Amino acid sequence: MGLGAEGFAAGALPPPGLYGLIYYNSYNASQFSGNNGNSMIPGFGVHANTIAPRLVYMTDKTIAGGLLGFYALFPLTTLSVSAGGRHDSRTGLGDSVFAPLLSWHHGNFHWAVAAEVVTPTGAYDKTRLANLGNNYYSFRPMGGFSYLDPNGFDISTKFSYTINTRNNDTDYRSGDYFAADYSIGYHVLPSLAIAVEGYYMQQLTNDKVGDVVVAPDGFKGRVLGVGPGIRYQTKAFSIEGRFIKETMVRNRSDGSSVWLKAVVPF
């Protein structure tokens, strides 16, 4: 999922069983910030609404003491993009994600690792402004950590490193990047928590067309997001939401995001 998808209990995976998760994200931006933070593209705007079902299956098998699991995610997006007097919109399936994972638990401490593969299942046309997919594979090793006290703090993070392959239609390779979601929360009730949440992303390698670096700075993206979050949890389900405002943006869209997430065991 995109930046900000995870917050509360990001490193705590459930016990063996099959689980259904549903994410909703609304992202809106009216500026594309360049390397100096100023607006780079006149008339820029992007509006995206995504519903993404995710299936998580936790087995009863262990590897290195960690519980083995698998998940798959299928984003369904309505996307609208404007730039330089042009406008385009599309609706459909985005790039699907598949991963194996391992999770560990020790008292109030929980952690997990996964290896995501992002597959180019979303529609792509190099002549269009709005594309639902990237038209390339990405490989994403990732980890998560949570400290959970049902009568106190919920401190969680999910971190990853994304390795992008080349878009063969354009010969463009987007640079690799580090990203982390974070949540610093507190249970005001055993079933209710509030938090400061957000994300940070920093691109570490250059964008390239063929073997040529794009722009003097390699067009390296960066963003910090921060905002409030809330979560309600029972034994039957959990639901959480957050609003994230972006700042310190470089070489990417500059906007805000609303996330909702629900988890229901089957």
- Which pTM does this prediction carry? 0.94
Q: Give residue-wise pLDDT tens across range 23-56.
A: 999 999 999 999 989 999 999 999 999 999 999 9
Fold exhibited by the domain 17-265: Lipocalin (2.40.128)
Percent of the chain having pLDDT more than 70?
100
Q: Give residue-wise pLDDT tens across range 124-161.
A: 999 999 999 999 999 999 999 999 998 899 999 999 99
Domain locations in the chain as residue ranges: 17-265
* Closest CA relative to residue 177, chosen from 227, 217, 137, 139: 139
Q: Classify burial at 106, counting beta carbons within 10 Å of its beta carbon; exposed 0-12, middle 13-18, buried 19 or more.
A: exposed
Q: Classify burial at 93, counting beta carbons within 10 Å of its beta carbon; exposed 0-12, middle 13-18, buried 19 or more.
A: middle
Percent of the chain having pLDDT more than 90?
94
Q: Tell me the HSE value of 74 on the side-chain side, using a 13 A CA sphere.
A: 6
